[in-house]
Structure 1
Amino acid sequence: MIIAPTRLALIRAGIVVAVVAVLAVETLSLFDALHRASVAVLWLLGLGFAVVALRRARPAWRPFWRDLGRLERSMVVALGGFFLADLVVALVAPPNNFDSQTYHLPKIEHWAAHGNVDFYPTIADRQLAMAPGAEYLLLHLRLLTGGDALYNLVQLAAGVGGALIASRITAQLGGARRAQLVAALVFGTAPMVLLEATSTQTDLVVALWVGAVATLVLDELHRRTPWPAALLIAAAAGLTLLTKATGLLAAGPLVAVWCVAQVRRGAVRGVLCGLAVVAGMALLSGPYLWRVQTTYDHPLGPGHLRDSISMQRHDPAAVLVNALRITETALQTPLGPVGSGAIKGVAGLLGVDPSDRDITYWGATYPYRSWPPDEDRVSFPIQGALVLLGAAVLLFRRGGPRLYAGVFWFAVLAYVVTVKWQPWGNRLILFLLLLGAPLAALWVDALLANRRRVVSWTMTGVLAVGALAGAAAVSVGWPRRLVGQDNIFTTPELEQRFVRRPGWQQDYTTAAAAMRAAGAHRIGLLQGYNTWEYPWWVLLPDRDFVSLQSLQPDMPAAPIDSVDAVLCIDPPKGCAFYLPPSWPGGTAGTVTWAVRPR
């Protein structure tokens, strides 16, 4: 019997759509044909297949609603309300995530301008070395619509999909309907989920693919996997790698468990399953990894970028301190990092500096305040605590969920061993939150069914408090809020784009006006590592932007005499080093410009 067939159909459809989108990008890129016409033809064909598929799918929504109890209906209404509010935010607010201004979105503009996804000279090597899976999906929207108005919908779809996957995994682990709804609620009301669901970050997308691997693998543990199902698992694993390599810390063990289960049904079959996963990863991620390897001599990018994220110490003391810091930051309440003192004390006893660069992101110091709700750092104390408690209880309980709980804890261990603590690390563990939500739900559901009213009502109250935290994130979360100062309805679009750095807006708009007045078409960029490049593409559409700096060994930067003008985002003295003294220009705050004399 197929468990939750409608949800399974949606998961399969999402994987197929993403695979087609990725293969289309890589194939069209070979011919410099990434343009609106070619992509539009692809999606017209896909729309026809979708219409046929939808005619066959007729979920019974009315009986589902009629059979729900009061608490279950409350959970459905809460989740629906939150995601509906997120939909409003996603459609009204322009993309304004900090990282997106620097590297997520500029590379999409370069791809659209060049008609391919080949690497190009830039000082912002994160535009090239960071996995592009989510941006490939955004590229389709960019080419079809000509802008970024629909960009936020990709992460929103991933958030909704993650809630559906959490509920289906719960069903696969033996959870009844209420437990399935609790799993969706635990994941879907986490403040970080609701804030990222309206952004152009990538963490919900990778969580979606990791969750897809998990639910597909659970289907195949007790049978000989048919090849269509094996290909879907391979595709989900490949999409995980292409979106963010940290997702493999969970997807890898899940695939290994599946392959072992297949080996028990035949050694050859197990080997073939493993080869299918490798092939899926190679097909979807191979072209990108090859570009990174040939450019930086390493498939994970330049050394400084790898070292800024990955742990350089793996001794037990350093790993324990890293785990404690990550846990404290994720579970932090509005009272602040109250547990950081104890963690510092433990670190001192172990002889570990809690801000040691070998275990801490460059330039960061521990502790860091992760509340109030901000998409880059917000904690999820209720949801996180429920996941950890549920996973701990079920790990030692005989029965079906024990193996799954073991895989979850293995993924947690792999994460704290390999990834440094960082102030914005809460968003990086969303895939662990999704995998852990079913374990929390199974434990919570047992308490909700407890005959002692004080136990069941207490747990109901805990879920309500978690939902209130989600409500706070949706309503006043930063940098896209529904109510209060700088909300999305009263703040002009351009101001929303610069809400992270409002002082830069006038600098950028003044310099952009100077470029238009000068008639500059090919514009050279001189930037810092964290400079916002994307606003130039928005303020100066239909211009060619090239970098006058390059961190790519075999890709020289454009010469300054090949451009009509230069935009330098740096203190004026730094810009003066690069700009020809004979070129007239000006300065507005952090931006200096110069125009080639005619």
Structure 2
Amino acid sequence: MMLLIPTALLLATANCYLAFYQDSGQPLRRSLLSGAILLFLFIAVSTELLGAFNQVNRPAITGSWVLYNAALSFLWFRLRKTHNASVGAIAQSWLKGLRSFCQTLGLRTVAMLVLLYAITLVVAVIAVPNNQDSLSYHLSRIGYWVQQGNVAHYASHIERSISFSPFSEYIHLHTFLLSGSERYFELVQWFCQAGILALISMIICHFSGSRIALRVGLCFAATLPIVVLESMTTQNDLVVAFFIVATAFFAFDYLKNNRLPSLYLIPICCALGMMTKGTFLFCALPFGIYLLIGMLRKQDLRKQIAGFAAASLTLTLVLNVPFWYRTYELFGTPVGTISKGNQTTFFGPGDYVSNVLKHLFLHLGFISPGNSYNNFLQSQLENVHQAMGVDINAPGTGMAFKMNKLNFNEDFAHNFFGIWLIILCIPLLFTARLSKTARWYGALTFMSFLIFCFFIGYQIYGSRLHIAFFLLAAPLVGLVFGSVLPAWGAKFLTLFLWLAALPFALLSSSHPLLSTKWFFEKVFPPINSALHLNIRIDAANLNLKQESVLSAEPGRLLWGEHWPEMQVFLAQVNARNPQKIGFDFTEASFDYAYQYLLRQPGRTFAHVRVANPSHVREDPAFRPDVVIAEKPAGQAFDYHGQRYVLQWEADGKWLYVPSK
């Protein structure tokens, strides 16, 4: 049944090609991206509709995809007849376009990109999802949706799972129900990254025909460490970045070429972007304002403003209000309360400048002997704060500041070389040969970062929230360096970026293709000691010493060094053959990991003794056969008329069973 999705994508791509793009430039990329956006829209709409009728199950989801494919097939035959097009002619046109694009990139650049993303594809297909956020809330919600047959909120100790935007998980829900497997979860972000690269290539071609600019821009985007690492996870930062970059491209494309498909794909991207992550608004806002001003300035475009604004507002509300309302019912706010700590509260312009600088310096840290480089940078940052009369850790500007060194984790990796290239772009903008619209694009990109910093405080894991900014900046980097670098300089730069990205593709700290245990036990310690890098490589540093995904069992990928203790614990649970399992968790508990390892036919899970407002969703008839707790509840407690007593305790986990 999983083939229904690629079949629908192929049909949607062919239909978009015949209907809109066969006589335009870049027809394959435009058609494929438009088809993908329409598929995303179908997933969002069908999930909410089926959920309203408690039909989120495999037969209903499969039936909806069969109907969607039937509709696309009917449209395909109609368009094919209207345009008198043959399958062979369309395939030949696509192959010709792909061959031309590869020739423009050059064999060397194509080989580097293909090898890099072949590595990440292997990991995405083989590795069990084990990102910390995914284990806590991204994936855990899927099990409860399937269990209850809808996407309504449920009682949960993990507030993020019932208050953070759900679209990325809707995609996972469909792939899970169609395939009966988690195998395709990590491909969502991987394919979104591929789509982003296609969008970046079209943005660069929109402003310039330079091959060097195209090669540098694509290599810059493809080799960002945080992007490489996230393309192998089930987080949602690349998904929302796809909609942000798409919005930027369609805005400029419409203003230049007056293509209505570009204009009316923007409302879909806005609605789905907001449905994926709230940060979409901050990054896309400057491009939306630019589009509206551009439409107002051109008389022939003004007549489209009312329809465009109505479509944007209506579609965004229709897709997002159901989830916002469900959240509002529980928390009294449509966005929940768990993310309030990330919001800024400024008491003056100095606080804002401080926040911008801390977001910037997040990427400037690096390893050095005795940590001298980071110490120097931090001292300079502290001097600036002293001159402004602002505390570097002022309330309302985020977490306590900390300079990064070097990290291979998808939550903390930063873009050291990427940020320096962007910084170097700023003075070069005054000398580079760029068009006026390209300079406007660069200004809007920087504006998106400044708006983001106005609303979101500094976080040590903020690098992944900056993904959209770096990807928006990729065309600018390509255009600037493509105009100032000689051919040999561009080749050196792209090769350097590619070599710097390979370790992140191969040695991810959570799911490495090559064993990091060997690297951090045999190779790195002498280097660390000789250069006085002072990097911790023990277990406290996010379990750096991991086995390869090619040989590691799923349990070890999920629980790391705690897996031996977890095997004993899970054996204690399964020994009682429970049908109903209660979870008494913390906000950071690995909900999905428990579901993954304990899942059996007929077995159900539910959160019990919930202390946040979602406790009203607890089923009073639910009396679990066992309760797994990750916070102490004493020797015994009562729940729904049943007494539970402590049976087993170890490694910060407690197992409670009904008393006789």
- TM-score past 0.5 threshold: yes
Aligned pair in 2 of structure 1 residues 398, 508: CA closer, same or farther (>3 Å)? same
The CA distance in 1 between the partners of 2:276 and 2:347, in whole Å, is 26
Secondary structure, counterpart of 1:583 in structure 2? strand
1:399 to 436, 456, 461: 436
Look up the SS of the partner of 1:545 in the other structure.
strand
- Is residue 489 from structure 1 mapped to residue 550 from structure 2 by the alignment? yes
Higher mean C-alpha displacement, 200-209 vs 167-176 = 167-176
Contact 2:507 2:513 in 1 (8 A): yes
Residues in 1 aligned to 2:100 and 2:412: alpha-carbon distance in whole angstroms: 39
Shift of 1:314: 5.8
Superposition map of 1:190-205 within 5 A = 190-205=224-239
Partner of 1:544: 604
* Cα distance change, pair 553–483 in 1 and its aligned pair in 2 (3 A): closer
Paired residue secondary structure (1:530): coil
**Structure 2 residue 135 is the aligned partner of structure 1 residue 94:** no
Of stretches 63-72 and 129-138 in structure 1, the one that deviates more from structure 2 is 63-72
The answer to whether the aligner puts 1:472 opposite 2:503 as a matched pair is: yes
Question: In structure 1, the residue corresponding to 2:279 is in which secondary structure?
Answer: helix
Pick the aligned partner of 2:323 from 281, 284, 288: 288
Partners of 2:316 and 2:97 in 1: CA distance: 40
Q: CA deviation at 1:359?
A: 0.8
Q: Which residues in structure 2 correspond to 1:216-295 (within 5 Å)?
A: 216-222=250-256, 224=258, 226=260, 228-264=261-297, 265=299, 267-295=302-330
Q: Of 367, 390, 393, which aligns to 1:355?
A: 393
Q: Distance in 2 between matches of 1:279 and 1:33?
A: 25
Amino acid at match of 1:230: L
Residue 24 of structure 1 is matched in structure 2 by: 46
SS at 2:188 equivalent: helix
Structure 1 equivalent of residue 469 of structure 2: 432
Q: Following the alignment from structure 1 to structure 2, what is the Cα–Cα distance between the partners of residues 251 and 390?
A: 21
Q: 2:588 is matched with which residue: 530, 547, 572?
A: 530
- Which AA in structure 2 matches 1:315? G
1:340 maps to 378
- 1:591 matched to 2:653: yes
Deviation at 1:277, TM superposition (A): 1.0
Is the aligned partner of 1:311 residue 2:344? yes
Distance between the aligned counterparts of 2:114 and 2:480, measured in 1? 23
**Larger CA deviation: 318-327 vs 457-466:** 457-466
Separation of aligned partners in 1, 2:352 and 2:408 = 28
Of residues 436, 447, 452, the one that matches 1:410 is: 447
Distance 2:61 2:635 in 1: 40
How big is the shift at 1:262?
2.2
Bigger CA drift: 393-402 or 475-484? 393-402
* Secondary structure of the structure 2 residue equivalent to 1:119: coil
Cα distance in structure 1, aligned partners of 2:622 and 2:409: 43
User: Is 1:163 the counterpart of 2:197 in the alignment?
Assistant: yes
Residue 115 of structure 1 aligns with which residue?
Answer: 149
Match of 1:563 in 2: 624
Letter in 2 for 1:29: G
| CA offsets 1:109-131 (integer angstroms, 9 cap, x no match) | 11111110001111211001111
Q: Which amino acid aligns with 1:168?
A: M
Q: Does the CA contact (< 8 Å) of 2:555 and 2:597 recur in 1?
A: no
1:67-78 equivalences in 2 (<5 Å): 72-78=106-112
Could you report, residue by residue, the CA deviation over 1:429-457 in whole angstroms, capped at 9, with x for unpaired residues?
11111111000000111123x4xxxxx54
Separation in 2, partners of 1:67, 1:26: 38
| Rounded Cα–Cα distance in structure 1 between residues aligned with 2:258 and 2:93 | 28
What amino acid sits opposite 2:392 in the alignment?
P
Change (3 A) 1:546 1:77: same
Q: 1:274-333, CA deviations, whole angstroms, 9 ceiling, x for partnerless residues?
A: 22111121122221122222322222212xx23211111263211212111211222333
Residues 388 and 292 of structure 1: CA distance in aligned 2, closer, same or farther (over 3 Å): farther
CA distance, structure 2, for counterparts of residue 167 and residue 582 of structure 1: 60
Compare 238-247 and 307-316 and name the one that shifted more: 307-316
**Aligned pair partner of 1:367 in 371, 381, 402:** 402
Deviation at 1:65, TM superposition (A): 5.0
Which amino acid in 2 is paired with 1:513? A
**1:507 touches 1:591 (CA, 8 Å); kept in 2?**
no
| 2:417 equivalent in structure 1 | 382
Q: 1:550, 1:557 within 8 Å by CA — same for their partners in 2?
A: no
Contact 1:209-1:239 within 8 A present in 2 as well = yes
Determine whether 1:325 maps to 2:358. yes
For structure 2, the 5+ residue unaligned runs are 1-22, 81-85, 518-546
For residue 106 of structure 2, give the secondary structure of its aligned residue in structure 1: helix
Partner-residue secondary structure (3-state), 2:436: coil
1:187 aligned onto 2:221: yes
SS in 2 for 1:460: helix
Q: Cα deviation per residue 1:467-490 (whole Å; 9 max; x = unaligned)?
A: 112111011122111112211112
**Counterparts of 1:311 and 1:175, CA distance in 2:** 41
What's the secondary structure of 1:422's corresponding residue?
A: coil
> Hey, what's the Cα distance between the residues in 2 that align with 1:526 and 1:62?
58
Which residue of 1 is the match for residue 17 of structure 2?
none
Q: Name the CA distance, whole Å, in 2 between partners of 1:29 and 1:569.
A: 31
Query: 1:79–1:391: structure 2 CA closer, same or farther, 3 Å change rule?
Result: farther
Which residue of structure 2 aligns with residue 453 of structure 1?
A: none
Q: What residue number does 1:444 align with?
A: 481
Structure 1 Cα separation of the partners of residues 102 and 197 of structure 2: 18
Deviation per CA, 1:65-109, whole angstroms, max 9, x where unpaired?
Answer: 578679832111111111111110011111000011111111111
Q: How many residues align?
A: 582
Q: Distance in 1 between matches of 2:279 and 2:213?
A: 28
Q: Tell me, in whole angstroms, the C-alpha distance in 2 between the residues paired with 1:176 and 1:461.
A: 17
1:328, 1:575 → 2: CA distance? 48
Amino acid across the alignment from 2:238: L
> Which stretch has the larger CA shift, 468-477 or 392-401?
392-401
Deviates more, 1:177-186 or 1:73-82: 177-186
Counterpart of 2:274 in 1: which secondary structure?
Answer: helix
Q: Could you state the TM-score of these two structures normalised by the residue count of structure 1?
A: 0.91
- Gap runs ≥5 in structure 1: 451-455
Q: What is the CA distance between 1:556 and its match in structure 2?
A: 4.9
Report which stretch shifted further, 560-569 or 90-99.
560-569
Q: Does the aligned pair in 1 maintain the 2:636–2:644 contact within 8 Å?
A: no
**Contact kept? 2:166, 2:276, Cα under 8 Å:** yes
Distance 1:546 1:71 in 2: 52
Q: Which amino acid aligns with 2:384?
A: V
One-letter identity of the residue aligned with 2:123: V
Identity %: 23
Q: 1:327 to 1:70 in 2, by over 3 A?
A: same
Contact 2:217 2:474 in 1 (8 A): yes
RMSD: 2.6
Alignment CA distance shift 1:146-1:398 (3 Å): closer
Shift of 1:565: 1.8
**How far off its partner does 1:595 sit?**
1.5
Question: Is contact 1:254–1:407 with CA below 8 Å preserved after alignment?
Answer: yes
Corresponding residue of 2:456: 419
Whether the 8 Å CA contact 1:91–1:152 is kept in 2: the answer is yes
